[in-house]
Amino acid sequence: MKKQLLTLLLACSLGVSAQAQLVTGTNVAVTSTESGQVRGYIHNGVFTYKGIPYAEAARFEAPHKPKAWTGVRSSLTYGPVAPLLDPTTSVQDESEFVFHHDWGYTSEDCLRLNVWTPNVKDGKKRPVLFWIHGGGFTAGSSQELPSYDGENLAKKGDVVVVSINHRLNILGFLDLSAYGEKYKYSANASMLDIRVALEWVKANIENFGGDPNNVTIFGQSGGGAKVNTMMSMPSAKGLFHKAVNQSGAFRGSVLEKSTTQAITAEVLKALKLDASQVDSLQKVPFPVLSAAGKTALKVVADKLKAEGKPVGGFGLSWGPSVDGDLLPYQMFANEAIELSKNVPLLIGTVKNEFMASLFAGMSNPTEEQVKDFIKKQYGDKAEAYLQAVKKAYPNDTKPSDLMDVDTRFRPGAVFQAKTKASVAGGAPVYMYMFNWQSPVLDGKYKAIHCVEIPFVFNNIARCEEMTGGTKEAYTLADKVSQAWINFARTGNPNHAKLPQWQPYTVEKGTTMIFDNTCEIKYHHDKDLMELVK
C-alpha cells in the first residue's frame, strides 16, 4: 500500500494531469484474491482490474475455483468473452455508430470478472454493484458497450463496481442432466456461473475495498432477466442484498425439463449421436455444436406450436429452466417470490425500447402511415390503443411517437412491481421510466433500448454517440447515477436532486419519470397497460 501511495505522489510531483491520470507499474494496484495476487492500474484515481478468473469449468460441467497462480497476475485488459451463436462479421453503419460495440475475443474459458474501486485494502467497506450484461441469454459480454465501464460510477459514489463474463447459449443451457452426475447443472450452467461469481465477491471483495454484506446485483435486458433468475435461486440467497432490473422483466415462464430434454434429444439427433456418446459433445467444435442447437430449437419450437403450446415472445431460445434443483421454481411462483421477499428492488424500462419505427423502416412517417401501421398491429383495438397512448403521453408531437411507445418490456415491469409490492412485510420496490429522448441523428433513436445505461454508469462522455454529450445529458446522468448509488448503499434511491420517490404500490403505481425535468407520476399509462397486457 505504501508503494502505491508513493507512486501516486510521484505522479503528482511530475505534473501528471489529475483529470486523466494513469498510474501503472510492477507494484501498482496490487491486491490479493483466494487464487493469488493480481495487479491492475490506477486511472483518474480509480483502481482498475480486468480479466480476473473467478472460476473455470469443462464444457457443460459445473464451475469450480480457478487454479492458484504464483507471483502477481497482470489484470490490465478484458478477458475472453463467451462464444457467440452468430459471430459478428458485418454491422449496420448508423446503428453501430450509436451503440459502438466492442465485440472482444471469444473463448470457452471465459469465466472472468472486472473490478473498479476507489481504493484497495484501506479498511473501508464500500457498497458493491455487481453488473450482469445484456444480450439475452445467448450473446453479450462485460465489455460489449462503452457504457459498461465502471470507473466513473466507482469514483462518483465511492462504490466498488464488478462486471462479469459467463457461459451463454448452448454452452450455458444444454440440458445433459439425464446423462450423468457431472452434467447435473448443465441446463443452468450459465446461471450457476453467476452464482459462483457472487461467491467470489463474497470471498474476495474486501481486498478490493468492498463490503461483501452490501452487494447489489443489477442488469439490463437479458441482464435484468438474469437478476430475476438470481432472485429465484435458493442457493444464491444471501449473496446479494438489493436488486435492479433495467428493461429485463418478462411475464412469461421459463422452460420446463420436458422441453429442455426434448431440445437435447434433437441436438444429439442432429449430430448423429446416441446416449452412449454424450461425452463426445464436450469435443464437438463450437460452430458444429451451435448449428445443431439451432436445428434442435426449430424442431422443438415447431412441435410446440403444432400442439398449441407457447414458445415465448422472442421464440424458443436458450435460457434458464426449472431443473428441480438449482432453479426449482418458476420465476413468479410463490416460493420464488418468498426467496427474495427481503431484497429491495429497483425496476423500470425506457420509453421506446425496441422502436417500431426503426424496425419498420419508418423513421419519419406521416400520421396516416402510423395509423395504418397501428391498425395492422391492433385490429379493432387500434382506436383504443391510440387514445391510451395520447392519454399517457399528451405532450408527444411526432406521429411516430404513437407507434414507438414500448409495450413489450413495460407490462412485465409493472407486473413484477405489483407482485413484489403485494408481498406482506416485504422489502420496497421502486419503479422508474426513462423517457429522455436522445438528440443524436435528429432524434431518430429516442429513448431506445440501452439508452439509460450511460446515465446509470455516469458515462455520458464515453457514450456521446448515444447521448449526444449534451449539457442536459450530463445533468440527468448526475441524477440517475446518484439514485442507483443511493439504492446500492441503503436500498432507497432518493436524493435531493429528485422529487420525493415513494415505493411502488398496487394502488398508487408510483413511477419516477427520468427526463430533462424529472417527475413522479401515478399509473400514468394504466389504460395502455390494460390494453396490451
pLDDT at 16 over 50: no
Based on the fold, state whether residues 267 and 208 are members of the same structural domain.
Answer: no
pLDDT tens string 435-492: 999 999 999 999 999 999 999 999 999 999 999 999 999 999 999 999 999 999 999 9
Please check whether residues 164 and 19 belong to one and the same domain: yes
Q: Which of 199, 353, 452, 465 is catalytic?
A: 353
Give the count of beta carbons closer than 10 Å to the beta carbon of residue 497. Answer: 13
Q: Is residue 340 assigned to a domain?
A: no
Q: For residue 156, which of 126, 131, 134, 125 has the smallest C-alpha distance?
A: 126
CB 210 within 8 A of CB 117: yes
Is residue 3's pLDDT more than 80?
Answer: no
Contacts of residue 63, Cβ cutoff 8 Å, sequence gap at least 6:
55, 56, 57, 111, 189, 192, 193, 196
- The last residue of one of the domains, among 246, 277, 292, is 246
Residue 524 known to be catalytic:
no
Q: Please, what is the average pLDDT of the chain?
A: 94
Active site residue 190: no
Sheet holding 36-39, edge to edge: 30-33, 36-39, 72-74
Q: Are 53 and 163 in a shared domain?
A: yes
Tell me: do 154 and 285 sit in the same domain.
no
Please identify which of the residues 133, 166, 241, 449 carries the catalytic annotation: 449
User: In 454-514, which ranges are E strands?
Assistant: 510-514
Grid cell listed for 267: 441436438
The yes-or-no verdict on residue 11 having pLDDT over 80 is no
Check: CB of residue 339 under 8 Å from CB of residue 237. Answer: yes
Element (H or E) spanning 417, and its range? helix 410-421
In a domain, 479, yes or no: no
Q: Judge if 143 and 264 occupy the same domain.
A: no
Give residue-wise pLDDT tens across range 304-335: 999 988 877 667 999 999 999 999 999 999 99
Tally of domains within the chain = 2
Kindly name the residue from 35, 142, 177, 221 that is annotated as catalytic: 221
Q: Is 169 a member of any domain?
A: yes
**Can 100 be counted among the known catalytic residues?**
no
Side-chain-facing half-sphere of 511: CA atoms under 13 Å: 27
Query: 149 and 44 in one domain?
Result: yes
239 plus 269 within the same structural domain = no
- Domain residues for the domain of 274 are 257-306
* 108 and 74 fall within a common domain: yes
pTM above 0.75?
yes
Closest CA to 102 of 148, 136, 64: 148
Same domain, 239 and 282: no
pLDDT tens digits along 375-401: 999 999 999 999 999 999 999 999 999
Residues 284 and 141 in one domain: no
> What CATH number does residue 45 fall under?
3.40.50.1820
pLDDT in tens, 77-100: 999 999 998 888 899 999 999 999
How much is the pLDDT for 313?
64
**Three-class SS string for 182-241?**
HHCCHHHHHHHHHHHHHHHHHHHHHHHCEEEEEEEEEEECHHHHHHHHHHCCHHHCCCCC
Contacts of 476 (CB under 8 A, 6+ apart): 436, 455, 514, 515, 516, 518
